[in-house]
Amino acid sequence: MTLNADTLHPMDMTTHESKSIDRDGNAINVHTGDGEIVGRVVGGRDGVAGQVGCWMNVPYARAPVGPLRFAPPQPLSQFAGKSIQVDARSPNPIVAPQRPSRLEDVLGSFAAVQQEDCLRLNIWSPLEALRDEQPRPVLVWLHGGAWITGGGGISWYEGTQWAKEAGIVVVGVNYRLGALGWLAGDDAEQNNLGLQDSQLALKWVAENIGAFGGNPDHVTIMGQSAGGDNIGALMQSRHPLLFQQAVIQSAPLGRPMRTLDEARAIRQMAMQQWGVSNLDQLQRLPLDTLLEGQASPAVMGKMKALGIAGQAYMVVADDLHVNAEGRTRYLQSASRVPSIVGATTDEMTAFPDMKRVDPDLAIGRRMFNAGAEQWQCEAEAAGQKCWRYEFRFGPNPRLGACHCIDLPFTFGTLPAFERAPMLAGGDAAEMEALSRYWRSGLQSFVIQGDPLWPKRDGGVHNVDAVR
């Protein structure tokens, strides 16, 4: 019996890592260490060349609900001697509970199913990878959204183009958001739960991606904004690194990190707002109540009064998962693996109350661009390879090259952003050409460790319209 991906079913069966395509070509069955996962074919029905297998909402951890709410993620190996069977053919992505993004007026919106049982992966692999013996490079994607919105499998981040064009296996990761993922805990093990989620997802990839045709020893991690910041935090982990390269897009590398004392103060503010005093009450708090109160005006006002800048939830320098020395030590992580790092030209115009004027743009340059430059300097000082870019294309005169403008071009998903104000006025052919150029460099880096960009003065590659 095969169940939907939102349900886990224990089965008495012996499993091993294997892969197969059923006879009618519509479904793809793979066996991982956790059990059988059934996906679907996208991109046509005739032949294998150019076709892609897609597995949506694949669980990589036990559902973080009930007693596991506000607890570190638990691996799926919960059924001793048994396995799970998952129907991962749904086209509807699952995401963590969230409220609408403050950037909807710039990006537009996306469709998804919200639920607390959200620790899921979304996988795209070329069908050829399931037929031959040559394992393919793997890209693991950590989405952005200020640690409170987004999802790894939404239409913005579909991996079909990467799998079809470059033969890369793409994995989009969900991690817990808002207070559910980033509220400071009663003890250190309960801090940075969203970061711990991502670490467990990487472990799942290392153990199981071979079943999807991927090479667990050739993994590049890529993330934008909050997702990019998470990558640097993972590079400070006490666990072995489970990726060999990194791409960090528009991460706030120039901003001070959240201290543990600040995070604990925010926890107290939020708990007062919710009217709870202990973990048991937090675990029984209705989800809507939790979401409404987690960053209410009252909480944000108290943060401001205490001089705590930024949003309520983010990576915490707790000295267990992330070094307590803060951003200076964080940036030294650039020495660990080859990387690409960069930002857009007009980052801040995407945010409320920010305009395309020098004082506002200067904030963005300090937070995003200067931080990327410092990351590159730390890498090169340690003898590590690092390429830096600045994404300069932006067709909307009001927004310019704002935060997130690079996303449609990164995944080749321009149609998913057709109503995004940030792309208003753009020429479709010109944008498609730029998308091909931009993602080809990223794909080259994933495959061979070099984006093959021309040398540029000042060590930065400017990405603009392709003429």
Residues 96, 223 contacting (CB under 8 angstroms): no
In tens, the pLDDT along 261-313 reads 999 999 999 999 999 999 999 999 999 999 999 999 999 999 999 999 999 99
Q: For the chain, how many structural domains are there in total?
A: 1
- CATH number for the domain harbouring residue 32: 3.40.50.1820
- Which residues have C-beta within 8 Å of that of residue 89, sequence separation ≥ 6? 27, 38, 39, 40, 56
Give a yes or no: residue 456 inside a domain: yes
Distances in whole angstroms, Cα of residue 306 to Cα of each of 262, 299, 301: 9, 11, 9
Specify the pLDDT at position 242: 97
Give a yes or no: residue 279 inside a domain: no
- Which residues have C-beta within 8 Å of that of residue 290, sequence separation ≥ 6? 179, 180, 274
Give a yes or no: residue 78 inside a domain: yes
- Which residues have C-beta within 8 Å of that of residue 456, sequence separation ≥ 6? 462
Q: How confident is the model at residue 49 (pLDDT cuts 50, 70, 90)?
A: low
Give a yes or no: residue 389 inside a domain: yes
Q: Which of 39-48, 232-241, 255-264, 450-459 has the lowest mean pLDDT?
A: 39-48
Specify the pLDDT at position 24: 47
Give a yes or no: residue 30 inside a domain: yes
221 strand-pairing partners: 140, 246
Residue spans of alpha helices (H) in 89-156: 104-107, 127-131
- For the segment 230-239, the average pLDDT, to the nearest whole number, is 92
Give a yes or no: residue 141 inside a domain: yes
CA 319 to chain CA centroid, nearest Å: 23
- For the segment 427-441, the average pLDDT, to the nearest whole number, is 97
Give a yes or no: residue 422 inside a domain: yes
Q: Over the Cα atoms of the chain, what is R_g?
A: 21
Distances in whole angstroms, Cα of residue 289 to Cα of each of 251, 274, 296: 30, 7, 11
What integer best gives the mean pLDDT of the chain? 91
Q: What percentage of the chain carries pLDDT values higher than 70?
A: 91
Catalytic positions, written as ranges = 225, 347, 403
* Domain membership of residue 69 as a residue range: 3-255+324-463
Give a yes or no: residue 40 inside a domain: yes
**pTM exceeds 0.85, yes or no:** yes
Specify the pLDDT at position 81: 54
